[in-house]
Structures are given as structure tokens and as C-alpha cells.
Amino acid sequence: MRTFRLVMIAAGVACASSAMAGDIAPGGTLRAAYLGTNPAQAMRDPATGEVRGPAYDLARELARRNNVPLEFKPIAGPPAVIEAVKNAEADIGFVAYEATRLGTVDFSQTYMLVRQSFLVLDGSPIRAIADVDRAGQKIAGTVNDSITLCMKRILKQATVVELANDPAELGKALTARTIDALGGNRQRLTTLSTATPGTRLLPDDLFNVPQNIVVPKDRPAALAAVNALIDEVRASGVLQSAIARGGAIGVAVAPAGVKAGCPG
């Protein structure tokens, strides 16, 4: 009788694990989509192909806990990441929270904050965030980026310009003075500044972008599992270590319950 009870308990544990894996990865592989142009989430070494970054570490840990393999796929833009999850082409997606992105997927709690600022020419009169919103100035951001969506709401005098996410063209737009400033996260702007002599980053930030994980709206158990993972890796220090290994500039662990994002 005791042997029978042990077998039944083991079977129950196996079924529970299988059910959880079925919620997270119905196809047997955890398909994670991330923003390939956002180094704060993850970066791929062009020489070795190795991927590092907090988004990759979180996806890998979620796959490990559910005993399924991981497919970690870069996608070109935030709307495409959300569409991939919405259309069941991905099981989870890494994307910044933005009010205009609500409705088609469910957002997890915030796990990370990414500082957003501006790149300007060395001789620019723009010295701080307070100087950005001035009449006659053209302030650029890349299409559908969080800072671009935010600027459209909060800038009252400057003109917001949307540009394709092409680093070479973004640098040219600054040096040719077709724009007065370029908004983005500090890692992206630092990289661009290094490649574009005569530019500098502003010392302060417009806001911190909340980074979240999205899941399909019809999988509440998956959302609960993702939120539990975030709680655990935040408390244990694993998330801080993942951010440090990723090496991105201007990135921090989001405190539990933090409210961040566009100030408008």
C-alpha cells in the first residue's frame, strides 16, 4: 500500500509539472521573443554567437524550471514582439511597458528599468533635459521606441521626428543638423556616440523605461509563473547578476511594485 501511495504522489507531481510546462510552453519548447535592437535586454557576440543579457537569463531559467528547451529569437521592433506573442508565434516576449501597448497581451510586473536620455552635438545649446522642449528644435527617436511614444505625448514646443533604427543614419542626422537631439536608452546612445565624434550624452534622464515580459491573454497561469520567477530572481540577487553580466549601461533592477515610465 505504501508503494502504491508513493507512485501516486510521484505521478501527481509529474502531472503538475507537465501542466505548468503546458501553460508556459504548449508546444514543448519555450519560444521567447526579444527586441534584437535593444542591448539592455540581450546582446549577441558577433564573433562567437553567444547571447548574454537579463532577458536571455530569465528566459533560460523559465525554460529550465519547466524542463523544456529554449528558443530565444530576436525580433525587429516592439509591436512585432507583441504581435508574435498575440499570434501564438512566441510564448513570451520581452518588451517595454507602454500604455499604448496594452490590450492584446498581458504584461508581467516590471523586472528592470532602463534610463532614457538624449544625444546631442558638442556645441548644442541643449545641456540638460529641461532644454529639450524648445520651439524650433527637432527631437528624434526611432519608430515605435518607448521614448518616441512618450515624447509625442509630453513635448509641447519641440517637433518630434521619427527615424528608422539605423545607427549610421541616426549619426548622420545629428552631424548634418537635421535633428537637434536623439532620444534613446543610454547603452544605445553611448554606442552611437562612440561611433559619432563630436557628440555627447546629456547628464540627466527623461525617464526610466519599465521592462516587462508579455504573455498571451488566455494564459493566466503563465503570467503567474512569470511574475513568481521575477519575484524570486529579484530577491535572490540573480537578476542583479544577470544585469551585471549583460554589461549594458544605464540598467537597474526594478524594485518590487515600482511605478515608472513616461511622465505624461
Q: What is the CATH number of the domain that holds 103?
A: 3.40.190.10
More confident residue, 101 or 132: 132
Predicted pLDDT of residue 17: 40
Sign of CA dihedral 224, 226, 232, 234: negative
DSSP for 103-145, please give it: TSEEE----EEEEEEEEEETT-S--SGGGTS-TT-EEEEETT-
| Secondary structure element (H or E) that encloses residue 55, with its range | helix 54-65
- Dump strand ranges (E) for the chain: 30-35, 43-44, 51-52, 70-75, 92-96, 105-107, 112-121, 138-142, 159-163, 181-185, 199-201, 207-216, 251-253
Same-domain check for residues 107 and 20:
yes
Predicted pLDDT of residue 218: 86
Average pLDDT, the chain: 90
Cell of 246: 549583460
Predicted pLDDT of residue 21: 64
> Is residue 264, in this structure, part of any structural domain at all?
no
Same-domain check for residues 191 and 215:
no
**Percentage of the chain modeled with pLDDT above 70:** 92
Same-domain check for residues 89 and 37:
yes
Q: What is the distance in angstroms between the CA of the first residue and the CA of the last residue of the chain? A: 65
> Is residue 259, in this structure, part of any structural domain at all?
no
Cell of 88: 501564438
Same-domain check for residues 9 and 39:
yes
Count of domains observed in the chain: 2
Of 70, 76, 102, 81, residue with least CA distance to 33: 81
> Is residue 24, in this structure, part of any structural domain at all?
yes
Same-domain check for residues 82 and 157:
no
Same-domain check for residues 28 and 151:
no
Same-domain check for residues 32 and 145:
no
From residue 21, give the alpha-carbon distance in Å to each of 172, 214, 224, 232, 233.
48, 17, 13, 18, 19
The answer, yes or no, to whether residue 81 has pLDDT greater than 60, is yes
Sign of CA dihedral 192, 206, 148, 255: positive
Task: List % helix, strand, coil for the chain (3-state, nearest 5).
Answer: 40, 25, 35
Same-domain check for residues 105 and 145:
no
From 207, 224, 240, give the residue that closes a domain: 207
- Dump strand ranges (E) for 20-122: 30-35, 43-44, 51-52, 70-75, 92-96, 105-107, 112-121
Same-domain check for residues 32 and 16:
yes
Same-domain check for residues 201 and 185:
yes
pLDDT tens for each residue of 128-173: 999 999 999 999 999 989 999 999 999 999 999 999 999 999 999 9
Q: Which domain holds residue 184?
A: 115-207
> Is residue 263, in this structure, part of any structural domain at all?
no
Same-domain check for residues 31 and 123:
no
pTM of the model: 0.84
> Is residue 97, in this structure, part of any structural domain at all?
yes
